[in-house]
Amino acid sequence: MENYKNKNNISENLDEKIDDKEISNNSQHTDTIQKKERQNFKERDRKSEHYFLEKKNKKELAIGKILLISVIVSILAGGFSGGLVFLYGHRIFSWLPNKFSKINTLDNRNKNVQVNSNEKIVVKEESAIIDVIKKSSPAVVSIVITKDVPRYRNFFYDPFFDDFFSPFYGNKQNDKNKENQTEKQKVGGGSGFIISSDGLIVTNKHVVEDPDADYTVILNNNKEYKASVLARHPYLDVAILKIKGKNFPVLKLGDSDKLEVGQTAIAIGNSLGEFANSASVGIVSGLKRNIVAGSGFGQTEKLNNIIQTDAAINPGNSGGPLLNIAGEVIGINVAMAQGAENVGFALPINSVKKTIQQVTKEGKISIPFLGVRYVVVNDEIQKENGLPNNYGALILRGKRIGDLAVVPGSPADKAGLVENDIILEINGQKVTEKNTLSDIINRYNVGDEITLKVWHKGKEKLVKVKLEARK
């Protein structure tokens, strides 16, 4: 056992010795390999550095070539452009104004951009409003009112004073002779507009209300025409004139039922009776206004469902057109508010169309007539009188003895209507403060048959009535 053991030990020792030798040999080999590897690494590093340097140089060379080409192209392009400008510059700059003048903004007051000969951009406003005024003015007329008036009138005549001072101030008898002499003088003016090429003109009734006066129409080109009054509306402030001629410029009638507050309104007329075709611009400030207009001489007129505008309407503008941005007539200028700024009123054109059609076809105005005097029922009247409804037309007599509730022989009288009856509806339309009996009746024509819903002695009944012409 021991011998075996020893042998084993020897073997182990031998193995150890062999291992040490091998280790020594391995160490030397390893050192050799490491040296070679270090040499290889250095060689690779050297080659890598050379590679990257070469690549960098190539990249810089490529960039340099691109820059050089860019500079050459820029120089050539600049020279080419300069040559073009030198040769064709005058054509280019003469073309630019025409091109830019066609550029419009979307605003109503469009702007055109133009280039002048000094190459400065000039902004010029050329709005739709200007176009409307230019196109419409030839059809807007001035109406001059003339009348025979005494050539001389002594308002301060006193017998004693005249006798005493007659040597100094002339003979009293001569003054009386002068009082009997008359001369035609201008006593007023207004506006109007042409609606047919053969010379039909619309204006306000109060402009041509004097049957003894003469009326002269002056066009935009200063041509004068003697005018005749074809018709005066009985209760609307509208009159139709006629001048002789043909091919007159006309204005197109719009639709006043489609008006909205805030849209553009343009008024044209003979302001103050002196400044023909004066134009003012504003907006539609309100609709369906009810006012009482006065003439300044004690005459008053109730105007219902009219247009309010802040476009300036001055004395002399009466009868002129109120236009929309399309150049269509939406109203007839009729009044202004005293003591207020920019508060004017116009009759809606739709309320006048029927009158125009009648005069065109028949040569006169025919007004449908029912023949009752009434007050419109409201909440207050309903409570005071214990009525069943807060709407309708209550038939009542006036304050004077002759103001009968129902006109004898009228359509209402023939239909059996009496005082204290209430007309509630006409052809299904309720009678209210905003939709009065007169408003509804005026939508129909003479000869039309209408059906009334009437409250009579506590009961409702239907009554048929045939409208007749107002006499």
Of 136, 206, 280, 366, the active-site residue reads: 206
- 31 belongs to the catalytic site: no
In order, the DSSP letters of 271-297 are ETTTEEEEEEEEEEEEEEEEEEEE-SS
Q: Are 346 and 333 in contact (CB under 8 A)?
A: yes
Encode burial over 106-127: b for 16+ CB neighbours within 10 A, e otherwise: eeeebebbbbeeeeeeeeeeeb
The whole-angstrom separation of Cα 466 and Cα 461 is 17
The answer for residues whose C-beta is within 8 angstroms of residue 218's C-beta and 6 or more apart is 141, 142, 143, 144, 224, 225, 276
Of 191, 256, 271, 318, the active-site residue reads: 318
- The pairing of strands 459-466 and 449-456 is antiparallel
Radius of gyration of the chain (CA): 50
What single-letter DSSP state applies at residue 22? H
Angle formed by the axes of helices 172-179 and 159-169, to 10°? 100
The whole-angstrom separation of Cα 97 and Cα 115 is 4
- 237 belongs to the catalytic site: yes
What single-letter DSSP state applies at residue 460? E
The answer for residues whose C-beta is within 8 angstroms of residue 88's C-beta and 6 or more apart is none
Q: Work out the number of other CB atoms within 10 angstroms of the CB of residue 68.
A: 10
The whole-angstrom separation of Cα 192 and Cα 372 is 34
Q: Work out the number of other CB atoms within 10 angstroms of the CB of residue 151.
A: 12
Of 127, 233, 237, 366, the active-site residue reads: 237
Task: Name the strand (E) or helix (H) holding 65.
Answer: helix 2-100
Q: Are 467 and 445 in contact (CB under 8 A)?
A: yes
The whole-angstrom separation of Cα 464 and Cα 156 is 63
The whole-angstrom separation of Cα 363 and Cα 470 is 16
Find how far residue 51's CA is from the centre of its chain.
Answer: 80
- 210 belongs to the catalytic site: no
Structure tokens at 247: 């091919």
Q: Are 390 and 416 in contact (CB under 8 A)?
A: no
The whole-angstrom separation of Cα 372 and Cα 410 is 8
Catalytic positions are 206, 237, 318
